[in-house]
Amino acid sequence: MHGLMIVVLMAVLMLLNYQIAKTIGAGAFIGQLYIDKINIPKSTELIGENAFDMCSGLKEFTVDENNKYFSGVDGVLFNKEKTKLIKFPEINKIQYIMFLICNYY
């Protein structure tokens, strides 16, 4: 329940301050254990370094399809062109690493 409250609070802050919606700062969610899903809205242009590190309960990212800078595939966060992996959920870390190894090496 804590994760939902944090995500809802972030959404409210984004509505109140456009700059927050455009940027997710470096280390913004670092160590947040109860967040299980993060939605990247259309307006987000920049995600700071280590923004989602150590979010051990994080299961997936979703990205608004109209976002010009980011995309999501199977819950994993990429740049729009899908040429750069930005972050995969901590909970799926081993599974995703194995997927990359099996498909690209």
Report pLDDT digits (tens) over 26-48: 888 888 888 888 999 989 999 99
Q: pLDDT band for 20, please (50, 70, 90 cuts).
A: very low
Spatial contact of 46 and 24, defined as CB atoms under 8 Å apart: yes
End-to-end CA distance of the chain: 40
pTM for the whole structure: 0.69
The parent domain of residue 69 ranges over 2-104
The rounded distance, in Å, linking the Cα atoms of 10 and 13 is: 5
Number of structural domains in the chain: 1
Per-residue pLDDT at 5? 52
Q: What percent of the chain has pLDDT over 90?
A: 30
